[in-house]
Structure 1
């Protein structure tokens, strides 16, 4: 199984990139391709920019990359209770190519933050909206207090209850 994994942020030090990479690699017999949103940077979407640029190659490449896997796993960083600007922008461009951005792929949605909320607001928004964009959401998982529950040196989740929950979720793929 080929899993397309991405952190919905442009941060080079993203804890969500760490989380999605870790979670995707828990799926047995899988090949994980980790996307970097920085490879798909585009001008801010607007109808005027779309009229000027059409469908940019980077937007097409993003859409095609999502379609190239058997499953999609995304971990969402939360900026002011919502999506990061980097993710929202490339998503908006891709949705103009085809509203079925997720192309009926099975998906697992994740989120984390340094605080106790675990980026729950953005995860709820993503989980609720993905089916409208042809996402077959198999489940979601939030990791609260990232630095208390994930050992960066060992690259592993340290909270046994959360690890059991995450393992159960990735088994759904």
Structure 2
């Protein structure tokens, strides 16, 4: 089955937190602040931020008011961009590779067209969804509890109040 790794999941949470803070008026956010607010491992997100920066999705600033920020608006960053930066290209099977990898059964395979169609549909969906789409669930933001109402273990505080 298709599965996004913890790296991809945490990367999406990390960038979503940056987008939330930007909406609250704070451009740069420390990883420590995000780790505490989202209950994520600081050492792990410190590793995850590097490929996101290399992909041009985040920028950094040193100093007292420094930290990380999105390099472009959240509605201009697709979920596909984020996942490809962290997980590599979408490839459900070898025959779906952009490098035309061969499995040895290509001439006899009747499934390659199904897998390629599935890859195409998933890629289209993830490319159409943006980081901004993650900020509110389909029912609207009113269905989300503020961070300060969450139980310990779910979050450590309201990301906008810090």
Structure-1-length-normalised TM-score:
0.27
* Greater relative contact order structure (CA < 8 Å, 6+ sep): 2
Larger strand proportion of the pair? 1
Please identify the structure whose Cα radius of gyration is greater.
2
Q: Which has more helix, going by share of residues?
A: 2
